[in-house]
Chains A and B, each alone.
Chain A
Amino acid sequence: MSVAADSAVYARQRVKPKASRDDWQMRAFMLVIALYLLLALAFPLYAMLSKSFKNDDGVFIGLANYAEYFGTPALSYSINNSIFIAVITTFITVLLAFTLAYALTRSCMPFKGFFKSVAMVPILVPSLLPGIALVYLFGRQGMIPWLLFGHEIYGPIGIVIAEVFFTLPHAIIIITTALSIADARLYESAVALRANKFRIFFTVTLPGVRYGLISAGFVVFTLTITDFGAPKVIGGDFNVLATDIYKQVIGQQNFEMGAVVSVILLIPAAVAFVVDRMVQKKQVALLSARAVTLQPDPHKRFDMIMLGYAILVSVFILGMLLVCQYAALVKFYPYNLSLGLNNYQFDLMDGGGWDSYFNSIYMASYTAIFGTIVVFTGAYMVEKGRGFDLGRGLFQLLAMMPMAVPGLVLGLAYIFFFNAPGNPLNFLYHSMAILVISTITHFYTVSHLTAVTALKQIDAEFEAVSASLKQPFYKTFSRVTVPVCLPAILDISIYLFVNAMTTVSAVVFLYGPDTTLASVAVLNMDDAGDIAPAAAMGMMIFYTAASVRLLHYFLSAYLEKRTQKWRMR
């Protein structure tokens, strides 16, 4: 046979790559996790969407529910309220966070590590807790109500303060990162050009962190507009979308209207998410540029001012916690200020008692363990899988979606989907499993991105080398990928644990009689007026989350020490 004859055939014949056993195994794994995401995310959301177009007998009525919604000013006005709160909070939080991040990265103030840790504290408490603290601080019987100059804490002021507390760490993380990637050479050039400090600030510093600021803004906006805890506790009669969903569903059993509000809440969250993703891509592009790290020079006055500011922020954050702890220990505020543990008798209150605290620990542990396994394996399959592009693309999309879905919306969607008669998964309803599944799903995106980032950082050719050495992928996965990514894996698990401890929104519709949770207990006790026990339970969550965080810190440090031989750069 001649080469020419071969060519005629081969040049036109499309090569169908034969999938190896590895490929099949990886695809099967990915399908399982994709199926998980379909069941835990896409189907429930679809169920919710379709519910919003039906009446309570399940008959399709088109946009009638929406028409009713927009025809009821008491309901639709919440859109304005929600946006109003979110915008104000975003503005304040980003400003406060930027200043603190600036102090942390650009000053030579002492105790930076301490201030940074304190700034992260709000992550460890449910968003209900700042609201409770505000009641004790600025309520009618508050400790310092005069600070509000006669304004009412119940309402927008309270919500905004609580949201600022709640969102501050998220903004600080993003802005600190943005500030710390700044290129020192830019500053040197600016100084060489004799630009003064203010000019440098506005022409170098701010443009350098613009994507960080925008990204932080969108994150804060989304967190605020979807948060349910703060407006629930301190919002008074100031209605926002998140509390409306709760009221429609829990108070009025109007599931259809709950679905409508959910869909409406999805819109700003989704828009903010998409914009943020676009901005983040640009930020990453900035990151990859080789930069010389900026070392701040000491300036006594500036450093002192920054120190003062950092102290102020720390007082704000720690003060809120201290107030809650104090309130939890006072016997009958404000009429009997002697201390005691009577507010810790959770079994005499609503919310499920001490059981809910232990349930929460179980739930958080399961979420951390299974969540990390699912998320990391899923990310690995997407990143390192071969071929099967359509499946991988779909998976990637599914993995990004939870970020745009507020917890309450997810929880409500779960009711519609899992409790539908005829759903074979019905047995999950009210079980611990559904709480774990909803929590993993709710916090999937950030975990997934953490995993993907870690996987992208390791050599892209490990799998190719392994294949050439004829070793199965799971060997490389377990012997190389997992050990190398262990810090990120720990990060994911702690992230899932802490969020599972503190989350209220997704699980508030899903817990059952045997599966009450500590965070929901805080909500229910506060709802029933048992605000001191609510504070006590909230602080229990804080101590638990903080201990696990510390444990994680020591574990990471130990791991780093043990593996520093090969982690050297």
Chain B
Amino acid sequence: MKTTTRYLKQIAVTAVSALVGLAFSASVATAETELTVYTAVEAEDLKKYADRFNEDHPDIKIKWVRDSTGIVTAKLLAEKDNPQADVIWGLAATSLLLMKGEGMLMPYAPAGLENLDPKFVDKDNPPTWTGMDAWVAAICVNTVESEKHGLPMPTSWKDLTKPEYKGHIAMPNPNSSGTGFLDVSSWLQIFGEEEGWAFMDALHENIDHYTHSGSKPCKQAARGEVAIGVSFAFRGAKSKAEGAPLEIIIPAEGIGWDMEATAIVNGTKNLEAAKTLVDWSISEKANKMYNEGYAVIGMQELAKPVEHFPDNIPQAMIDNDFEWAASNRKKILAEWQKRYDSKSEPKS
């Protein structure tokens, strides 16, 4: 019996020390510099990005915090007063503009800035962010399902409002998805505000459901869960490569786009390492790496065509006013929510 008591005591001691250890382990840093990098880059690409960077800078370890655009943005804003991230690498420029507005980003002109397309650089001097690649809106059409339901191949945004598509379209909810907001803000720019909302009213009639994430509509189209998914081209190309019966359509009116961009978070304790990473992120090597998945990159002259990507993307990209989109974000989202987020209400 004595042993039981001792045993119990031992458990208690181990337990307490483990709990304390548990609490502190998160805050203990390793010997080499570790950068906490927040990103919305596709999960499957993260390892590649870190590996390529480490080929040149093996002493800097990247700790990824990856989530969808909406969530990463939310996280960063939530941590505004107590930032956890050192660098943001691969987040929508519109999101970065929000953070810039909150004064969360550190202005920094990385080496080799002059080689970037000016569209890919923040207007401020020194800039607070630099672009990596563009991700563009697109329509993913499942050819098998379209045939089954006798749906013609859409060629424009307006096509999607035709009655035959009723119940066959999924698109991301702009309130949670960066892609969704990209779509909505670009339509408002393409069609103008009034006509833009009218278009969305008509589109809403055909929408089967809104998704939380931007890639989901395309993945659903890939699986045939819907015939048409409003999503982004990169996702469609990926699914197509996996063998999905998909067609990626670039609508005739032009497509909204956003940049994946990089910035240093104000208050980072690893400023030198952060600068090294941002410098590398606009290097030629990095741009070539982006080009493996994305057709449009910061150094467009280096860009090679990407498999499964439609080739007319650069021409179709609209002249996106990021500042306008960022500053009107709240208003647009509220309006959208008022109009469409109550699809679930019983129709009287």
Contact of A251 with B175 in the complex, beta carbons under 8 Å? yes
Contact of A247 with B175 in the complex, beta carbons under 8 Å? yes
Residue of A nearest to B2 (CB): A479
Stretch at the interface among A59-67, A288-296, A527-535, A537-545: A527-535
Known A-B contacts A249-B74, A427-B23, A479-B5; the reply to A335 vs B243 at CB < 8 A is yes
Does B308 make an interface contact (CB < 8 A)? no
CB contacts (< 8 Å) of B5 on chain A: these are 475, 478-479
Residue of A nearest to B9 (CB): A478
Question: Number of A residues contacting the other chain (C-beta, 8 Å)?
Answer: 67
Does B31 make an interface contact (CB < 8 A)? no
Does B1 make an interface contact (CB < 8 A)? yes
Does B33 make an interface contact (CB < 8 A)? no
Does B32 make an interface contact (CB < 8 A)? no
Known A-B contacts A421-B82, A433-B19; the reply to A251 vs B212 at CB < 8 A is yes
Does B342 make an interface contact (CB < 8 A)? yes
Question: Number of B residues contacting the other chain (C-beta, 8 Å)?
Answer: 69
Contact of B344 with A528 in the complex, beta carbons under 8 Å? no
Partner of A336, one of B22, B65, B173, B243: B243
Residue of A nearest to B65 (CB): A513
Contact of B68 with A527 in the complex, beta carbons under 8 Å? yes
User: How close is B117's CB to chain A, nearest CB, in angstroms?
Assistant: 29
What mask results when residues 119 to 141 of chain A are scored 1 for a CB within 8 Å of chain B, else 0?
00000000000000001000111
CB contacts (< 8 Å) of A350 on chain B: these are 43, 66-68
Contact of A529 with B215 in the complex, beta carbons under 8 Å? yes
Residue of A nearest to B344 (CB): A238
CB contacts (< 8 Å) of A348 on chain B: these are 43-44
Within 8 A of B (CB), among A397-454: 415, 419-421, 426-433, 436
Does B187 make an interface contact (CB < 8 A)? no
Contact of B344 with A237 in the complex, beta carbons under 8 Å? yes
Known A-B contacts A238-B344, A349-B44; the reply to A335 vs B245 at CB < 8 A is yes
Partner of B345, one of A72, A77, A336, A528: A77
Contact of A436 with B344 in the complex, beta carbons under 8 Å? no
Within 8 A of A (CB), among B208-255: 208-213, 215-220, 222-226, 242-245
What mask results when residues 365 to 382 of chain A are scored 1 for a CB within 8 Å of chain B, else 0?
010011001000000000
Partner of B36, one of A139, A433, A513: A513
Contact of A427 with B26 in the complex, beta carbons under 8 Å? yes
Does A332 make an interface contact (CB < 8 A)? yes
Residue of B nearest to A366 (CB): B22
Does B63 make an interface contact (CB < 8 A)? yes
Contact of B220 with A524 in the complex, beta carbons under 8 Å? no
Contact of A140 with B224 in the complex, beta carbons under 8 Å? yes
Known A-B contacts A349-B43, A513-B63; the reply to A239 vs B341 at CB < 8 A is yes
Partner of A528, one of B23, B219, B245: B219
Does A357 make an interface contact (CB < 8 A)? no
Contact of A332 with B8 in the complex, beta carbons under 8 Å? no
Within 8 A of A (CB), among B144-170: 144-145
Contact of A432 with B245 in the complex, beta carbons under 8 Å? no
Partner of B64, one of A426, A479, A513, A528: A513
Give the docked Cα–Cα distance between A528 and B210 (Å). 13
Partner of B26, one of A140, A239, A430: A430
Contact of B25 with A253 in the complex, beta carbons under 8 Å? no
CB contacts (< 8 Å) of A487 on chain B: these are none
CB contacts (< 8 Å) of B216 on chain A: these are 527-529
User: How close is B140's CB to chain A, nearest CB, in angstroms?
Assistant: 11
Does B124 make an interface contact (CB < 8 A)? no
Does A268 make an interface contact (CB < 8 A)? no
Contact of B342 with A77 in the complex, beta carbons under 8 Å? yes
Partner of A419, one of B19, B36, B79, B175: B79
User: How close is A366's CB to chain B, nearest CB, in angstroms?
Assistant: 7
Does B343 make an interface contact (CB < 8 A)? yes
CB contacts (< 8 Å) of B77 on chain A: these are 253
User: How close is B115's CB to chain A, nearest CB, in angstroms?
Assistant: 31
CB contacts (< 8 Å) of B145 on chain A: these are 140
Contact of A253 with B74 in the complex, beta carbons under 8 Å? yes
Does A73 make an interface contact (CB < 8 A)? yes
User: How close is A360's CB to chain B, nearest CB, in angstroms?
Assistant: 15
Does A286 make an interface contact (CB < 8 A)? no
Partner of A140, one of B79, B84, B226, B343: B226
Does B303 make an interface contact (CB < 8 A)? no
Give the docked Cα–Cα distance between A74 and B245 (Å). 36
User: How close is A267's CB to chain B, nearest CB, in angstroms?
Assistant: 21
Partner of B213, one of A72, A475, A529: A529
Does B70 make an interface contact (CB < 8 A)? yes
CB contacts (< 8 Å) of A483 on chain B: these are 4
Contact of B213 with A370 in the complex, beta carbons under 8 Å? no
Within 8 A of A (CB), among B39-66: 43-44, 47, 63-66
Does B338 make an interface contact (CB < 8 A)? yes
Give the docked Cα–Cα distance between A348 and B43 (Å). 6
Does B176 make an interface contact (CB < 8 A)? yes
Residue of B nearest to A84 (CB): B346
Contact of B23 with A433 in the complex, beta carbons under 8 Å? yes
Does B15 make an interface contact (CB < 8 A)? yes
User: How close is B142's CB to chain A, nearest CB, in angstroms?
Assistant: 9
Greatest chain B CB density within 10 A among A81, A141, A238, A513 is at A513
CB contacts (< 8 Å) of B224 on chain A: these are 140-141, 334-335
CB contacts (< 8 Å) of A479 on chain B: these are 1, 4-5
Within 8 A of A (CB), among B165-224: 173, 175-177, 208-213, 215-220, 222-224
CB contacts (< 8 Å) of B81 on chain A: these are 420-421
Give the docked Cα–Cα distance between A446 and B16 (Å). 23
CB contacts (< 8 Å) of A482 on chain B: these are 8
User: How close is B141's CB to chain A, nearest CB, in angstroms?
Assistant: 15
Contact of B209 with A431 in the complex, beta carbons under 8 Å? no
CB contacts (< 8 Å) of B22 on chain A: these are 366, 431-433, 436
Does B73 make an interface contact (CB < 8 A)? yes
- State the 9 A-B residue pairs at the shortest beta-carbon distance, nearest first: A529-B219, A251-B176, A529-B216, A431-B26, A513-B65, A238-B344, A237-B343, A421-B81, A74-B342
What are 15 of the A-B contact pairs (CB < 8 Å)?
A73-B342, A154-B208, A237-B209, A247-B175, A251-B177, A253-B73, A332-B243, A334-B224, A350-B66, A351-B43, A373-B12, A421-B81, A428-B26, A431-B22, A513-B66
Residues of B within 8 A of A (CB): 1, 4-5, 8, 12, 15, 18-19, 22-27, 36, 43-44, 47, 63-68, 70-71, 73-74, 77-79, 81-82, 84, 144-145, 173, 175-177, 208-213, 215-220, 222-226, 242-245, 333, 337-338, 341-345
Given A252-B175, A253-B77, A419-B79, 18 more contacts at CB 8 Å?
A72-B338, A140-B225, A251-B176, A252-B176, A253-B74, A348-B43, A349-B44, A366-B18, A366-B19, A421-B82, A479-B1, A512-B84, A514-B26, A527-B213, A528-B68, A529-B218, A529-B222, A531-B219
